[in-house]
Amino acid sequence: AKAAGRGKHCFYEPSMHSEAADRQLLENDLRQAIDRGELNVVYQPIVRASTEEISGFESLVRWTHPVRGAISPEKFIPLAEECGLIGQIGQWVLETALKEAANWPDHVRIAVNLSPIQFNDPAVVDAIAKAIDESGVKPAQVELEITEGVFLADSDHTEDTFARLKKLGVRLALDDFGTGYSSLGYLKKAPFDKIKIDQSFVRGAAAPSSRNTAIIRAIVSLAESLEMETCAEGVETHDDLALIRELGCSHVQGYIFGRPAAADQARALANRSRVE
Ligand code: C2E
Ligand code: CA
Ligand code: CA
Ligand code: CA
């Protein structure tokens, strides 16, 4: 039902009248959000587990609505995907984030989330190449975070796009790992450099008899044999951090090392490359 609504205006259902009307209003506002300067990108540090050095930052989009205030990307990204706005928003985030990362040392990576709809656009590789050229970042500095959603289309385009992105020299991370299905097949198909272990496995993993421990251990061992890095997302406590280290995740991201921060704060951290 979600896919069927893509690219169209949101469907009408009598019982949902006010909700549908509300979505329509929000969609109209989102259409103008870029031009009105209401979107903003924040940056969350990703840290090497062994040394606590910052390996890079994930760019995360924010929308401050003039009347409603902050609206979560969990809400407006799906709306943008359904109403045909994600291409424009995604490209704006990509260009903004890469330009910002050009102020960081070359070894500090910039991770950008790529919606499956952006990925499936025939022009995606050219758009990424253009953003890299115009920003001056090194291709190897760029890490694209992709979810299993890209494989639903399972077309020749998918394989071809992965090959062209590798040729471009960017890094690829499989985001939200473990939350979808048949992830193992996807690991075989696509040349990922990193697996991001979803927060749902990480948070509270240190609790006694947590089954998450076994799951994380299995993912890390799989990633190691495929020569991929692993990033545990959503690490908030020292107990969870200690366990994540013990389980051998190569990278950590979470409030324990820093919340998503404004560009100037991220820049200061990037130039120090260490969280204190
Ligand atoms: P994600 O890609 O899985 O991003 C990680 C989310 O986890 C971010 O939420 C981040 O703020 C949050 N997070 C990180 N560490 C912790 C922690 O220790 N505890 C808790 N409770 N949360 C933590 P955010 O920024 O609200 O983004 C939510 C989702 O919205 C993202 O999930 C991603 O799916 C989507 N999103 C955000 N920005 C973009 C974007 O520029 N493009 C696209 N396509 N999607 C985006
Ligand atoms: Ca992500
Ligand atoms: Ca994630
Ligand atoms: Ca998520």
* pLDDT, tens digit (0-9, with 9 covering 90-100), for 21-35: 888 999 999 999 999
Per-residue pLDDT of the chain (276 residues; tens, 9 = 90+): 344 444 455 555 555 568 888 889 999 999 999 999 999 999 999 999 999 999 999 999 999 999 999 999 999 999 999 999 999 999 999 999 999 999 999 999 999 999 999 999 999 999 999 999 999 999 999 999 999 888 887 678 899 999 999 999 999 999 999 887 766 878 888 899 999 999 999 988 888 878 999 999 999 999 999 999 999 999 999 999 999 999 999 999 999 999 999 999 999 999 986 555
* pLDDT, tens digit (0-9, with 9 covering 90-100), for 56-112: 999 999 999 999 999 999 999 999 999 999 999 999 999 999 999 999 999 999 999
Does ipTM top 0.90?
Answer: yes
Look up residue 181 and give its DSSP letter. Answer: S
Task: Output the CA–CA distances (angstroms, integers) from residue 271 to 102, 136, 152, in the order listed.
Answer: 12, 17, 39
Q: Answer whether 113 contacts ligand 1 (Cβ < 6 A).
A: yes
Nearest ligand (C-alpha, residue 173): 2
Q: Answer whether 74 contacts ligand 1 (Cβ < 6 A).
A: yes
Task: Output the CA–CA distances (angstroms, integers) from residue 98 to 8, 87, 133, 140, 224, in the order listed.
Answer: 30, 16, 10, 12, 29
- Would you say 79 and 43 are in contact if contact means Cβ atoms under 8 Å apart? no
Per-residue pLDDT at 2: 43
Q: DSSP states of 72-108 as a string? A: -HHHHHHHHHHTT-HHHHHHHHHHHHHHHHTTS-TTS
Per-residue pLDDT at 5: 43
Q: Answer whether 72 contacts ligand 1 (Cβ < 6 A).
A: yes
Sign of the C-alpha dihedral, residues 118, 123, 126, 131? Answer: negative
Residues, the chain, total?
276
Instruction: Provide the residue type at 261 as one letter.
Output: A
- Would you say 171 and 139 are in contact if contact means Cβ atoms under 8 Å apart? no
Q: Answer whether 40 contacts ligand 1 (Cβ < 6 A).
A: no
* Residue 253 to residue 267: CA distance in whole angstroms: 17
* Kind and range of the H or E run holding 41: strand 39-48
Alpha helices in the chain (DSSP H): 17-33, 73-82, 86-101, 116-119, 124-135, 156-168, 183-189, 199-202, 211-225, 238-246, 263-272
Q: 14 alpha carbon to ligand 4 midpoint, in Å?
A: 31
Q: Answer whether 45 contacts ligand 1 (Cβ < 6 A).
A: no
Taking alpha carbons only, the member of 226, 91, 235, 248 closest to residue 172 is: 226
Nearest ligand (C-alpha, residue 145): 2
Instruction: Report strand pairing: 229-233 vs 142-146.
Output: unpaired
Structure tokens at 8: 């169209």
Structure tokens at 51: 């040394």
Per-residue pLDDT at 179: 86
